[in-house]
Amino acid sequence: MKFIPNITFLRYFFSAGQSKSISRASKENFVSQSAISQAISKLEKTLGKQLITHEKNRFQLTADGLLLLDKCKQIFTVFSEIEDAFNETDSVFKGKLSFACTHSFALSLLPAYLSKLSQTWEKIEPILRFGHTGTIVELVKKGDVDFGIVLDNEDFSLFHSREIYRGEYHLYTAKKFTANAKNKFILSEERKEVSLLKQHFQNNGVEIHAYMEVSSWEVIASLVEQGMGIGFLPDYIAGKRALIPYEYSIPKIPYRILAISPKNRKLSRNAQMFIDLIGQI
């Protein structure tokens, strides 16, 4: 074989390419920026290809750099599979576990799951990414995370999915309901569950309008706690907050929280373990 790669250099390049910064790569790998820069230069020399544009104060991959980044992703996936295989024979779980979820999930349900994880397998190193559903889907597609945690309000048939939690949407008010909150509905953007709610009111001859449209359930819950209105939320958000169900009964509007991963990629052993663990709680 003509090209014998230095695996440390590839690791540095991969790290810089993923984080789009030599500085961040240096912090991730506990070496200086210079070491990362030199490693990339040596890779370029070995390959005879320019991998980054070498502009001052700007990290940018060339077409060859992007190609190598993709190949590195495959290489390091194989490495983690090898690590998985050895850990499996040792009957232990350790190393990285990366996943993406929404802020609302991270603030509501995730702490209990992570607590259980750290108690059970203390050598697991979770890497968390946050964002809206679209961001999570992109991270999962690109292989930047092992799996994503999403609400089932979109079509995820292109992914392998597993239900990890289920609940219902409800209307909530503050424990101390104020007259100020009456008929002031605080809703998220027009999605399936919001349409169903509006449809129900319409069927009963009541037309409701969002007093306020807020694209974050956490923010809706906080506003409702302040007595600013009636919020429509999944029950896991209301959980530990000073909220009570609104007196007006609505039909069941269920939801499911799913762990999604690409169909063409085997879920890492750590990810499989964590999803199983969530299912047990």
Partner DNA sequence: GCTCGGCCATGTCTGAGCAG
Partner DNA sequence: CTGCTCAGACATGGCCGAGC
Size of the site for DNA (CB under 7 A): 24
**Among the listed residues 180, 199, 169, the one whose alpha carbon sits nearest the alpha carbon of residue 104:** 169
Q: How far is CA 232 from CA 13, 133, 228, 253, in A?
A: 46, 19, 13, 11
Among 22, 97, 100, 243, binds DNA (CB under 7 A): 22
Among 54, 73, 96, 141, binds DNA (CB under 7 A): 54
Is residue 30 classed exposed, middle or buried when 0-12, 13-18 and 19+ CB atoms within 10 A define those classes? exposed
Q: Find the farthest-apart pair of alpha carbons in the chain and give their distance in angstroms, rounded.
A: 78
Q: Which is nearer to DNA, 37 or 188 (CB)?
A: 37
CB of 183 to DNA, least distance (A): 39
Q: Which is nearer to DNA, 56 or 252 (CB)?
A: 56
Part of the chain binding DNA (CB under 7 A), chosen from 23-31, 80-88, 165-173, 225-233? 23-31
- Specify whether the CB–CB gap between 17 and 70 falls below 8 A: no
- Specify whether the CB–CB gap between 51 and 70 falls below 8 A: no
**Among the listed residues 198, 230, 203, the one whose alpha carbon sits nearest the alpha carbon of residue 214:** 230
Task: Tally helices (H) and strands (E) across the chain.
Answer: 11, 9
Part of the chain binding DNA (CB under 7 A), chosen from 57-65, 152-160, 165-173, 217-225? 57-65
Q: Which is nearer to DNA, 15 or 188 (CB)?
A: 15
Is residue 268 involved in binding DNA (CB under 7 A)?
Answer: no
CB of 131 to DNA, least distance (A): 21
Site for DNA in 30-49 (CB under 7 A): 30-35, 37-42
Binding positions for DNA, rule: CB under 7 A = 6, 8, 21-23, 30-35, 37-42, 52, 54-59
